[in-house]
């Protein structure tokens, strides 16, 4: 599962890394505690060179209301072709979700200890995601939404949680965005990121609340 992540780099670094321009520059700001329902930066298969801002929590086009999005922040890689909400999107609506870290919680006797997972050098990366547009039936507003794909945890993350978001190697990001491939080719990219290229460390309990969103959330803490 992936329920929180970070994007702490500035817009210039994001543009340089992904070769994109933001469609709405004023919407971008670093986040230390990205949470579901927030509008967050993605790059879609339809616009490789633009940074767009979609709501986290995929709402299928057929949904009657937006509340279903709260249950669809993640999509399991193993069942994408079986779920009605996702099986058509793997061929038509894929995206990169821009990030530089994510949080998971380890269950302990005294409670849960949050950890932050990053690449070893702290660089930017992208989660594999799916996206969809949903039209509000009352207002007619078109709301773009996304879900982050998850897979089995690698050896590092497994110590905290049995699932992890799919982090795409840099050289496979364009492959994920490329249209016209068979579903099995996209599915072959959805695997655990190498554990030896990642690191994790405990952080404070401030991250438990999405209301908290400041650099202090990244500080390394002593695990309990």
Active site residues: 2, 104
For residue 198, give Cα distances in angstroms to 2, 21, 207.
Answer: 16, 28, 20
């Amino acid at each position: 599962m992936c329920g929180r992540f970070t994007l702490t780099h500035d817009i210039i670094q994001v543009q340089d890394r992904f070769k994109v321009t933001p469609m709405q520059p004023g919407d971008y700001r670093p986040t230390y505690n990205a949470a579901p329902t927030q509008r967050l930066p993605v790059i879609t298969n339809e616009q490789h060179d633009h940074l767009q801002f979609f709501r986290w929590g995929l709402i299928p086009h057929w949904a009657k209301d937006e509340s279903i999005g709260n249950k669809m922040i993640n999509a399991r890689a193993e069942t994408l072709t079986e779920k009605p909400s996702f099986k058509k999107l793997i061929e038509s609506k894929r995206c990169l979700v821009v990030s530089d870290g994510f949080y998971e919680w380890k269950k302990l006797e005294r409670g849960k200890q949050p950890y932050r997972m990053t690449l070893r050098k702290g660089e930017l990366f992208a989660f594999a995601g799916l996206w969809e547009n949903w039209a509000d039936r009352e207002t007619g507003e078109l709301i773009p939404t996304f879900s982050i794909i998850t897979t089995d945890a690698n050896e590092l993350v497994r110590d905290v949680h049995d699932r992890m978001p799919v982090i795409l190697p840099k050289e496979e990001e364009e492959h994920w965005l490329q249209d016209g491939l068979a579903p099995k080719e996209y599915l072959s990219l959805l695997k655990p990121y190498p554990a030896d290229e990642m690191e994790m460390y405990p952080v404070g309990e401030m991250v438990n609340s999405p209301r908290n969103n400041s650099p202090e959330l990244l500080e390394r803490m002593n695990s309990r």
